[in-house]
Structure 1
Amino acid sequence: MHRNAKRVVVRTLACAAVPVLLVAGCSSGSGGEDSAKSAKSSAAPTTSAPPSPAPVKFTTLPDPCETLTKKTVKAVVPGAKTGKNLGSKDADGYGTCLWSGLDDFQYRALTVSLKRFDSDVTLGSGGQRAAKYAGQQVAAVSQDTANKNVKDTPLDGVGDQATSIAFETEKKSGKKAEEYRGQRVVAVTGNVVVTVDYEGAGFETGKTPKADEIREDAEKAAKEAAAAVK
């Protein structure tokens, strides 16, 4: 009797344990699916708007031949009539004007070049790109082996920042060589670079112009041209 009673109790406990295991198995499987769904949901990529280029100060350029008044042109380039627009396929991005004249064997030539930069998310803001280009324009004078006695100095009151570079060079006309004095002024205003190149020489009985004269006239033109960028 005792042995039979023990067997009945063991069988009863074993049968009672089966539903508990089944319930536990189902609960574990359901929780795993919910966790997987939650993980997938949290790992889903989120989309964001691409970065926008920084705004620029200037979106257009003036006609380079209209950056100087007739009075200034007459004073700086005696004998010059009208400026020659050298043309550009992108007038809002780049432009150059040339004035040249000969008066009593005194030759003068002046160019005003304007270059505008837009902002680019990979290349930098318009102002940063303009500053980099300005540095290249300044360095180009000393890198030209034809130029000698190169001297550059900071220039205040022209654009946001400017550099004035003096130099001398020799040019041949046939068998004869002429001494030229030149001045380049590079100014940055916003996202625009203004480059003024000015040179002078004395032909025949004319004398080579003084360095101070060339520098003052070039800087005067550069200040006026930079102010014309609006």
Structure 2
Amino acid sequence: MQRADQRDDRAQPSQRAKRLRRALVCAAAVPAVLITAACSSDSGDSKAKSGAESTQSAGGGSTQPSASASPTVQAAAYQKLPDACGALGKKTLEDLVPKGVKSAKKGTSDDPSTRASCSWSSLDNNGVKGSQFRWLTVSLLRFDSDATRGSGADQAHTYFTRQSKDVQSVDGAKNTKVVPLSGTGAEATAVRYDLKKKEGLFKQQTVVARVENVVVTVDYNGAGLAGEKTPDADDLTKAAEKALKEVVASVSSANGAGGAASSPSGSSEPSKPASPSKSPSKSSSSSASPSKSAARES
């Protein structure tokens, strides 16, 4: 009996020791789990933080798109104009103004390389039989390329269109006829009409052409005065068209037989912008209606 109690007493410390060892093992295991969880948590936070920082860095590191380069326009093909009074040969002048070959009168211009004109008048006096009157005007207008207004050719096209319409709206014009022309510059047209004045019936021909960035206007009218026969409108128109082609050719010749437009390797840099005094609006106001000018002169 005593031995059994002693065995029980000896067994209890042994069991308590086992339970203590198990508790210590479990207790020791808990920090490891916590550390593992903590490491996992830190690792996730670190990755999240790293991702956030990467995103922030990517966002903060983005640069604003650089400003686009200034727009450029095609360079003007022609940089100068011919002498308007020398744009027609002697033979042509003898046909158009037989008594006025030497009557050339140069128009005023603040810049001859942009705007030029010349006029001639002829009065073939046949005494009591009357007289044949002729009036001829050549006008040239050149447009520079400009980043704001566009290429010289586009500006010239706009002016050509407006010029062609203005000629058709002359006060008192009768029997107006508009004929598109081919083979002269990039675009060309002829406008003719009758204009009754106290001196007689005037046959008016205005031919307009655009060659690259230059607009050429030839204004030609004729009348039979004091009983002389009225000139034939078809003959006057043909003479005006001949003069127009000659002036267009002189523009190309003055710029080296075609200027920059004839050379594919020509510079693509825009030409110097026109000054305010060269603006299309002023140019058009000064020579928008050569037919009106001719009518006043005649």
Q: Which amino acid aligns with 2:212?
A: G
How far has the Cα of 1:137 moved from its partner? 1.5
Question: Is there any run of 5+ residues in structure 2 with no aligned partner, and where?
Answer: 1-18, 126-130, 253-298
1:140 — aligned with what? 166
| TM-score, scaled to structure 2 | 0.68
2:103 — aligned with what? 82
| 2:217 is equivalent to residue 195 of structure 1 | yes
User: How far apart are the structure 2 equivalents of 1:155 and 1:145?
Assistant: 24
1:126 — aligned with what? 152
| TM-score, scaled to structure 1 | 0.87
CA contact (8 A) 1:141 1:147 kept: no
| 2:235 is equivalent to residue 209 of structure 1 | no
Q: Which amino acid aligns with 2:204?
A: G
CA contact (8 A) 1:186 1:193 kept: yes
CA RMSD of aligned residues (A): 2.2
User: How far apart are the structure 2 equivalents of 1:19 and 1:87?
Assistant: 93
Higher helix share: 2
User: How far apart are the structure 1 equivalents of 2:185 and 2:44?
Assistant: 80
Structure number, greater radius of gyration: 2
- Structure 2 CA distance for partners of 1:205 and 1:121, relative to 1, 3 Å: same
CA contact (8 A) 2:222 2:231 kept: yes
| 2:248 is equivalent to residue 229 of structure 1 | no
Q: 2:136 is paired with a residue of what secondary structure?
A: strand
Structure 2 counterparts to residues 7-86 of structure 1, below 5 A:
8-80=28-100, 81-86=102-107
Which of 126, 138, 163 in structure 2 is aligned with 1:112? 138
CA contact (8 A) 1:141 1:150 kept: no
Q: 2:77 is paired with a residue of what secondary structure?
A: coil
Q: Which amino acid aligns with 1:189?
A: V
Q: 1:59 is paired with a residue of what secondary structure?
A: coil
Q: Which amino acid aligns with 1:33?
A: E
Greater displacement, 39-48 / 3-12: 3-12
Q: 1:229 is paired with a residue of what secondary structure?
A: helix
User: How far apart are the structure 2 equivalents of 1:41 and 1:158?
Assistant: 60
* Aligned positions, number: 226
How far has the Cα of 1:8 moved from its partner? 4.8
How far has the Cα of 1:227 moved from its partner? 0.9
User: How far apart are the structure 2 equivalents of 1:144 and 1:82?
Assistant: 26
CA contact (8 A) 1:168 1:180 kept: yes
Q: Which amino acid aligns with 2:139?
A: S
How far has the Cα of 1:113 moved from its partner? 0.7
CA contact (8 A) 2:106 2:117 kept: yes
Question: Is there any run of 5+ residues in structure 1 with no aligned partner, and where?
Answer: none
* 1:113-164: CA deviation from partner (whole Å, max 9, x where unpaired): 1111223345443223222221211111222232111111122332233211
* Sequence identity percentage: 39
